[in-house]
Amino acid sequence: MKVVGLSRYLPIDNPESLLDLDLPKPAPGPHDLLVAVKAIAVNPVDTKVRAPKDQVANPLRVLGWDAAGVVEAVGEAVTLFKPGDRVYYAGDVTRPGCNAEYQTVREEIVGRMPGSLSFAQAAALPLTTITAWEAFFDRLHISPDGKDAGKTLLIVGGAGGVGSIGIQLASRLAGLRVIATASRPESAEWCKSLGAEAVVDHRGDLVAEVRALGIRNLDYIACFNDTDQHFPAMAELIRPQGTIATIVENARPLPVELLKAKSAAIAWEFMFTRAMFSTPDMIEQHRLLTRVAELVDAGTLRTTIGEVLGKIDAANLKRAHALLEGGRVIGKLVLEGF
């Protein structure tokens, strides 16, 4: 089967950073689906895993953790799916990724894709949707059923992949007042089109900009961009006994003492945790993807696809990685077909 992989971890402008390769078609384990991949999306996690390091990938490493496709075969213990089902999923970062014609993935972390979407549109959703859903409803304990409607949420990094679906989940599903951050006019307009009540510039004085909206303290904060840079402002803005959720690892020690007087907390969200550790509640990712598909088909949520870059090959994946590393992508970058 065709794959895009790597054997060394190199800068994206190196001709050998990503390579068109052929590997044997995998066979599903007892709880696995074998999926014929039709479309993929590219995320910052891809660039972080590929980033230069003094290691050799042996065997060859296949990246990619956002896919939509068709179930070709199922393992003997599978009960949720059958061959021919159209599915979408993010997968498991500890297993071979979706930059391949075929991929095996545990059934508990897969959902049936929205019937109203194309494969490309569906591939834009899984990883970022799971991330935002878990950040809001598992880590920040926001009610997905509107019981916290009217409370305030700041999303730092509103125009990226996670922010794009996060704005929708928070405003349209939970009924929150969403303030998003963006640094360019086009990204600010994107955030407003998705449901943000207001947009502030995260390159400026974040505290002053939020308080200029008449909001002194925020009920919730979700950081989807540069935890180190924004932590002091987030600590100042979070309400007493509130919680900040972040998905971006810090490069330096965080001044967590800033949270002490408020008895405030910081929570990490990493959507691969359930699959990495085979947690007893892995099935929750199947359930949330199922609910999101229903919400998309009902018109409550929309795909966050930003641009389709062409077919799935090394040249287009290199372009996607370079765009993501440039930090100016709006929505999701998708590739379709081989």
Q: What is the pLDDT of residue 285?
A: 98
pLDDT above 80 (res 4): yes
Q: What is the pLDDT of residue 54?
A: 83
DSSP 23-52: -PPP---TTEEEEEEEEEEE-HHHHHHHS-
Residue 223 makes CB contacts below 8 A (sequence gap 6+) with 156, 157, 230, 231, 234, 244, 245, 246, 247, 248
Q: What is the pLDDT of residue 327?
A: 87
What is the rounded distance in angstroms from the CA atom of residue 201 to the CA atom of residue 264? 24
Please report which confidence band the pLDDT of residue 154 belongs to, taking 50, 70 and 90 as the band edges: very high
Q: Per-residue pLDDT averaged across 123-148, rounded?
A: 97
What is the rounded distance in angstroms from the CA atom of residue 49 to the CA atom of residue 44? 9
Q: What angle do CA 304, 305, 308 make, to 5 degrees?
A: 175
Residue 152 makes CB contacts below 8 A (sequence gap 6+) with 176, 177, 179, 215, 218, 219, 220
Q: What is the pLDDT of residue 56?
A: 78
> Tell me, what amino acid is at 119?
F
Please report which confidence band the pLDDT of residue 122 belongs to, taking 50, 70 and 90 as the band edges: very high
Using the 3D structure, point to which of 268, 294, 316 is the last residue of a domain.
268
Q: Per-residue pLDDT averaged across 43-52, rounded?
A: 94
Residue 183 makes CB contacts below 8 A (sequence gap 6+) with 201, 202, 203
Residues 224-279 have pLDDT tens digits of 999 999 999 999 999 999 999 999 999 999 999 999 999 999 999 999 999 999 99
Q: What is the mean pLDDT of the chain?
A: 96
Q: What is the pLDDT of residue 57?
A: 76
**Over pLDDT 70: what percentage of the chain?**
100
* 327 and 202 share one domain: no
> Could you tell me which residues are beta bridge partners of residue 266?
244
Q: What is the pLDDT of residue 202?
A: 86
* 257 and 292 share one domain: no
Q: What is the pLDDT of residue 324?
A: 95
Please report which confidence band the pLDDT of residue 45 belongs to, taking 50, 70 and 90 as the band edges: very high
Using the 3D structure, point to which of 251, 268, 285 is the last residue of a domain.
268
CA-wise closest residue to 302 among 126, 86, 110, 125: 125
Residues 64-118 have pLDDT tens digits of 999 999 999 999 999 999 999 999 999 999 999 999 999 999 999 999 999 999 9
- The pair of structure tokens assigned to 263 is 């008895």
CA-wise closest residue to 81 among 268, 233, 286, 264: 286
* 187 and 286 share one domain: no
* 201 and 236 share one domain: yes
* 263 and 287 share one domain: no
* 114 and 132 share one domain: no
Residues 278-300 have pLDDT tens digits of 999 999 999 999 999 999 999 99
> Could you tell me which residues are beta bridge partners of residue 240?
none
Number of domains the chain is built from: 2
pLDDT above 80 (res 336): yes
What is the rounded distance in angstroms from the CA atom of residue 79 to the CA atom of residue 72? 15
Q: What is the CATH number of the domain that holds 9?
A: 3.90.180.10
Q: What is the pLDDT of residue 328?
A: 86
What is the rounded distance in angstroms from the CA atom of residue 300 to the CA atom of residue 305? 16
Q: What is the pLDDT of residue 64?
A: 97
CA-wise closest residue to 41 among 127, 101, 112: 127
* 259 and 304 share one domain: no
Residue 267 makes CB contacts below 8 A (sequence gap 6+) with 139, 140, 243, 244, 245, 246
* 115 and 73 share one domain: yes
What is the rounded distance in angstroms from the CA atom of residue 234 to the CA atom of residue 228? 10
Q: Which residue range forms the structural domain that includes residue 154?
A: 128-268
- How much helix, strand and coil, in percent to the nearest 5, is found in the chain? 30, 25, 40
Q: What is the pLDDT of residue 63?
A: 97
What is the rounded distance in angstroms from the CA atom of residue 318 to the CA atom of residue 300? 33
Residues 7, 56: contact at Cβ < 8 Å? Answer: yes
Residues 168, 301: contact at Cβ < 8 Å? Answer: yes
- The pair of structure tokens assigned to 229 is 């840079």
What is the rounded distance in angstroms from the CA atom of residue 222 to the CA atom of residue 238? 10
Q: pTM score, two decimals?
A: 0.95
* 140 and 104 share one domain: no
Q: What is the CATH number of the domain that holds 235?
A: 3.40.50.720
Range from 134-138, 264-268, 323-327 carrying the lowest mean pLDDT: 323-327
Residues 257, 231: contact at Cβ < 8 Å? Answer: no
* 136 and 226 share one domain: yes
- The pair of structure tokens assigned to 333 is 């970058």
* 80 and 159 share one domain: no
* 204 and 115 share one domain: no
Using the 3D structure, point to which of 209, 236, 268 is the last residue of a domain.
268
Residue whose structure tokens are 């179930």: 71
Q: What is the pLDDT of residue 59?
A: 78
